[in-house]
Amino acid sequence: MKKSKLLMLTASLFLVTSLVSCGETNTDDGVYSKDFVNALVKKYSLEPKNEAYTYTETIEETAIRYSFVLTCKAADYYDYVFNMSLTKVIEDGDVKGTLTSSIDFIWGRFISSAFNATGSFVKGAIVDKIDYQFYGLVFYTDGTVGDNCFAKTSDGVMTEFSEYKPFNNSWKMTLLQINHLNAMSQELVGCYLW
């Protein structure tokens, strides 16, 4: 009985230690933003510009091509602050547009992150701009995020462009880039960002 309790305690302690070492940036054994940026710079031979490193990549998902951009900007208190965006270009007959999912974040602190989606559609003289803000996200220990959220908008979509489902598509883009960054973080520094 005592042995099983000791094993449970040891397993619990290992789990907590693992989470702390990956998720907390204020501990001595934590993974810091500079660790991630240094690994990113080394792997992709990035050069700084205006105190920032920018990593770009094309992501293809279900026959859709996205442009992924991660900017790591030097900051006094946090070492680095980040902006990440995923953009899809829409060209469909006489309709042209873009959808962009954008996330501003500080390393390891998803609660203070800003999850936004913007877009624009043009069809002749009709122009529409959209703006969504996602919040209430739930992150799991496997680096994924739950497929539900709360949202508010200052600019919704006009009926002329509703068939492009900008809300659903931009939310899927947000999930895609969160999971993509967590996979990058796992590969480069051995833990999930959020």
12 within domain boundaries: yes
Q: Are 114 and 131 in contact (CB under 8 A)?
A: no
180 within domain boundaries: yes
* Same domain membership, residue 99 and residue 9: no
* Same domain membership, residue 140 and residue 47: yes
pLDDT of amino acid 3: 38
Helices (H) and strands (E) in the chain, counts: 3, 7
Domain count, the chain: 2
* Same domain membership, residue 114 and residue 165: yes
* Same domain membership, residue 93 and residue 10: no
Q: Are 113 and 103 in contact (CB under 8 A)?
A: yes
Instruction: Tell me if residue 138 falls in helix, strand or coil.
Output: coil
Sheet holding 64-75, edge to edge: 52-61, 64-75, 79-92, 95-106, 109-123, 126-135, 150-155
* Same domain membership, residue 61 and residue 48: yes
pLDDT of amino acid 167: 92
149 within domain boundaries: yes
pLDDT of amino acid 5: 38
* Same domain membership, residue 14 and residue 60: no
Residue 122 Cα distances to 105, 154, 157, angstroms: 30, 18, 12
Stated pTM of the model: 0.82
* Same domain membership, residue 60 and residue 15: no
> Which stretches in the chain have pLDDT values below 50?
1-21, 23-28
44 lies in which domain range? 32-189
Residue 94: phi and psi, rounded to 5, are -95, 10
* Same domain membership, residue 52 and residue 22: no
